[in-house]
Amino acid sequence: MSKSILELKDVKTIVNKGTANETTILKGINLKINEGDFITIVGTNGAGKSTLFNVIGGNLHADSGQILHNGKDITSSTEEQRTTFLARVFQDPKLGTAPRMTVAENMLLATKRGEKRHLFLRKLKQNMERFTKLAATMNNGLENRMTTATGALSGGQRQALSFLMATLKRPDILLLDEHTAALDPHTSLNLLHATNERINQDHLTALMITHHLEDAITYGNRLIVLKDGQIKADITGDEKRQLNTDKLYSYFED
């Protein structure tokens, strides 16, 4: 039986509190994420997908409920504290990388994620072969740009670098926040394939928001449908394997 890595218990979030625009976004979310899960998440705009990631990531605190990491209550822990076990890749390729640093320098920086910063020898040369091999797994020529400033990369290469940086230290939880949405279809598909391969090879536990129902069906072992701040469906096993877009669309209907 798989071990639960992260659990949300009756989590609720409210925005614009005390104003006429006060709105409850997450309405009692209960979610248990098991070790090795690759969960795709779909939902209409305003369903609460990004809010869910923000609450898990610590960018936004739950107004009620509880969040547990390996059984420990982390409900009140900060975003910085959660970087010791959690990594996130955003939709914007410009986020998550330092534009003036080279590809290799960014990857070296990622090896220190979640640690207290100290003065240390760079050790860039010693890591270059390892970093280059990792970059080659992205299948987009990133391995040939190791000494290039990240700001000069294509959007696809920069997003691939963000993904590599997020997974270098094998986080307990990987959040993929529509990480291919800003890319052209070919580049998006290439990154999705590389993402899936890395998650499966390293047995990572990941959640991926996507607007493409086909991708939600194709990838992962679980599919969650969010609607109006609640989990409408949590689809696994044979039900997910037999799922098609028509059936998935039906979960969005009243």
d(CA 156, CA 140): 8
pLDDT of residue 46: 87
pLDDT of residue 114: 61
H/E stretch holding 94: none
Q: Helix, strand or coil for residue 105?
A: helix
Nearest to 151 by CA among 139, 165, 161, 140: 161
d(CA 212, CA 42): 8
pLDDT of residue 95: 85
pLDDT of residue 12: 96
pLDDT of residue 119: 47
Structural domains of the chain in order of their starting residue, each with its CATH number? 1-85+171-253 (3.40.50.300), 100-170 (no CATH)
The pLDDT tens digits along the chain (254 residues) read 678 999 999 999 998 888 998 999 999 999 999 999 999 999 998 899 999 999 999 999 999 999 999 999 999 999 999 999 999 999 988 888 989 999 999 999 898 876 665 545 467 888 899 999 999 999 999 999 999 999 999 999 999 999 999 999 999 999 999 999 989 999 999 999 999 999 999 999 999 999 999 999 999 999 999 999 999 999 999 999 999 999 999 998 86
Nearest to 232 by CA among 252, 210, 208, 212: 252
Nearest to 43 by CA among 171, 188, 233, 185: 233
The answer to whether 5 and 173 are in contact (CB under 8 A) is: yes
